[in-house]
C-alpha cells in the first residue's frame, strides 16, 4: 500500500541528465512510496530500449540542428520531445504498481483543465480519437516505472521531420503519418501553459492517492551517482550499441509491435544476434537475444530454444508463442 507520495520536477532540459534522474529515482524509491517526476527535453528524439536508431530517426538531420539522440530504458517506439511537451514518470515498487491508477492521475489532471480524454488500451491517451500522450513501462525486479509524454504545444513539423516510422507500423494503425494521429492540448484549451499542466498534475496526484505530496528537489540527489548515470545515458555504447555485421535478417509485425532479428552465423551456429523491436516488454526482447546465442542456426533449434524459455508473466509467454508460430511458417 502506498503511504507516501513524492513530487519532483527537473528544471534541466538536458535529456541525459533527465534520464539519469529517472533511473536514480527508480532505484531509490521506498517500498511504500510512489514518486511523480516531471521533466522536459529540448529538441530530442528518444528511442525505445531495443530499437535500431538508424531506422527510426534521421540521425544526421538531428545532429545538424544540434538535437539530442537518446535511448531510454523502456521499450516502445521512438518519440520526439521539445519544450512544448511535458514528460511524466511514476516510480513505485512492484507490489504497488498499478497502471490504471497512474493513468487516472493523468486523466484527472486533464479533466481539471476542462478537457475530456480517455485511455486507449495500455499505451495511449486520446482526445476525440487523437493521441496526445504515449506511455511506456519498465520493470527491473521489484522496481518499476511508467512514463509518458503530454503534448501541450509540440512542434508537429519537427515531430514528423525527424522520425522515420515504418509504413507497416502506420498501416497497422490505419493512418498515413505520425502527424495525422496526434494532437496538442493547447488546441482544446487556448493559451494553456506547461506550468498550468504541472499544477493540475500535482493536484490530481494528491487526489487519486489521497495523500499530501512531499516535494523533492533534484539538487538533493546524490551528485556522484547522478554524474555516473548521466555519463552512461550520454555514452556512445548506450545510444548506438554495437553494430552487428549480420548475414541473415528476418522481420515481422505482431499485435504487440515490430520485431527484426539479425543473425551472425559461424560454423552453423548463431555467433551473435541483434533484435530490434518497439515491443513494450524491453527486458523480454533483450533476454530472447541472449538465449539464441551459440545454438545451431536452424528453425527447429531456434523454436525449441524459445519453447524451453518460460517467462514469469502470461503476456510474455504469449509473445514467445507468437514468435514461435511465425518462425515455424518461414524459411531461414
Domain CATH code at residue 309? 3.30.390.50
Give the per-residue pLDDT at 165.
Answer: 58
Residues 54 and 97 in one domain: yes
Q: How many domains does the chain have?
A: 2
Please say whether the beta carbons of 162 and 45 come within 8 A. yes
Profile the chain (332 residues) by mean pLDDT over runs of 10 residues.
97 98 98 98 94 82 90 92 97 96 97 95 88 94 96 89 60 44 95 98 98 98 98 92 75 92 87 91 90 88 89 88 92 76
SS3 call for 233: helix
Please say whether the beta carbons of 131 and 125 come within 8 A. yes
All three cell numbers of 181: 494521429
All three cell numbers of 252: 515481422
SS3 call for 232: helix
Residues 10 and 59 in one domain: yes
Residues 282 and 205 in one domain: no
Query: Which among 70, 84, 92, 88 has a CA at the least distance from the CA of 17?
Result: 70
Strand order in the sheet with 79-81: 68-71, 44-47, 79-81
SS3 call for 316: helix
Give the per-residue pLDDT at 167.
Answer: 45
Residues 323 and 181 in one domain: no
Q: What is the CATH number of the domain that holds 75?
A: 3.30.930.10
Residues 203 and 69 in one domain: yes
Q: Could you give the CA distance from residue 243 to residue 225 in angstroms, rounded to a whole number?
A: 29
Give the per-residue pLDDT at 117.
Answer: 95
Residues 116 and 169 in one domain: yes
Domain of residue 110 covers 4-240
pTM, 2 dp: 0.81
Please say whether the beta carbons of 281 and 323 come within 8 A. no
Residues 132 and 154 in one domain: yes
Give the per-residue pLDDT at 160.
Answer: 74
Give the per-residue pLDDT at 56.
Answer: 82
Q: What are phi and psi of 225, to 5 degrees?
A: -65, -40
- DSSP state string for 149-181: EEESS--HHHHHHHB---HHHHHHTT-S-SGGG
Residues 119 and 20 in one domain: yes
Domain-ending residue, one of 240, 271, 298: 240
Please say whether the beta carbons of 263 and 327 come within 8 A. no
Residues 254 and 235 in one domain: no
> Beta-carbon neighbour count of residue 108 at 10 Å?
17
SS3 call for 38: strand
Query: Which among 57, 73, 65, 71 has a CA at the least distance from the CA of 23?
Result: 73
Residues present in the chain in total: 332
Residues 150 and 292 in one domain: no
> Exposed, middle or buried, 222 (CB in 10 Å: 0-12/13-18/19+)?
exposed
Pairing of strands 79-81, 44-47: antiparallel
Domain-ending residue, one of 199, 223, 240: 240
Residues 108 and 197 in one domain: yes
Domain-ending residue, one of 202, 221, 240: 240
Give the per-residue pLDDT at 166.
Answer: 47
Q: Could you give the CA distance from residue 28 to residue 286 in angstroms, rounded to a whole number?
A: 24
Residues 215 and 300 in one domain: no
Query: Which among 264, 265, 261, 288 has a CA at the least distance from the CA of 275?
Result: 261
Give the per-residue pLDDT at 122.
Answer: 65
Amino acid at each position: 500500500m502506498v503511504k507516501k507520495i513524492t513530487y519532483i520536477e527537473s528544471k534541466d532540459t538536458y535529456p541525459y541528465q533527465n534520464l539519469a534522474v529517472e533511473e536514480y529515482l527508480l532505484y531509490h524509491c521506498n517500498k511504500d512510496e510512489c514518486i511523480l517526476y516531471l521533466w522536459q527535453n529540448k529538441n530530442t528524439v528518444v528511442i525505445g530500449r531495443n530499437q535500431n536508431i538508424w531506422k527510426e530517426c534521421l540521425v544526421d538531420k538531428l545532429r545538424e540542428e544540434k538535437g539530442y539522440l537518446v535511448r531510454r530504458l523502456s521499450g516502445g517506439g521512438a518519440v520526439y520531445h521539445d519544450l512544448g511537451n511535458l514528460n511524466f514518470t511514476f516510480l513505485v515498487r512492484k507490489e504497488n504498481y498499478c497502471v490504471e491508477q497512474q493513468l487516472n492521475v493523468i486523466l484527472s489532471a486533464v479533466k481539471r483543465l476542462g478537457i475530456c480524454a480517455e485511455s486507449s488500451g495500455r499505451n495511449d491517451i486520446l482526445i476525440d480519437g487523437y493521441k496526445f500522450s504515449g506511455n511506456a513501462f519498465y520493470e527491473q525486479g521489484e522496481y518499476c516505472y511508467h512514463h509518458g509524454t503530454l503534448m501541450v504545444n509540440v512542434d508537429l513539423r519537427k515531430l514528423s521531420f525527424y522520425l522515420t516510422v515504418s509504413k507497416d507500423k502506420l498501416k497497422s494503425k490505419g493512418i498515413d503519418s505520425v502527424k495525422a494521429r496526434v494532437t496538442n492540448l493547447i488546441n482544446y484549451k487556448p493559451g494553456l501553459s506547461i506550468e498550468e499542466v504541472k499544477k493540475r498534475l500535482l493536484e490530481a496526484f494528491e487526489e487519486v492517492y489521497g495523500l499530501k505530496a512531499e516535494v523533492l528537489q533534484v539538487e538533493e540527489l546524490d551528485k556522484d551517482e547522478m554524474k555516473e548515470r548521466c555519463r552512461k545515458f550520454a555514452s556512445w555504447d548506450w545510444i548506438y550499441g554495437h553494430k552487428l555485421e549480420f548475414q541473415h535478417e528476418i522481420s515481422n509485425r505482431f499485435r504487440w509491435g515490430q520485431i527484426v532479428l539479425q543473425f551472425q552465423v559461424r560454423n552453423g551456429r548463431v555467433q551473435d544476434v541483434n533484435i530490434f523491436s518497439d515491443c513494450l516488454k524491453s527486458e523480454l526482447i533483450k533476454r530472447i537475444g541472449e538465449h539464441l546465442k551459440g545454438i545451431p542456426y536452424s528453425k527447429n533449434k531456434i523454436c525449441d530454444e524459445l519453447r524451453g524459455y518460460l517467462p514469469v508473466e502470461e503476456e510474455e509467454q504469449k509473445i514467445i508463442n507468437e514468435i514461435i508460430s511465425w518462425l515455424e511458417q518461414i524459411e531461414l
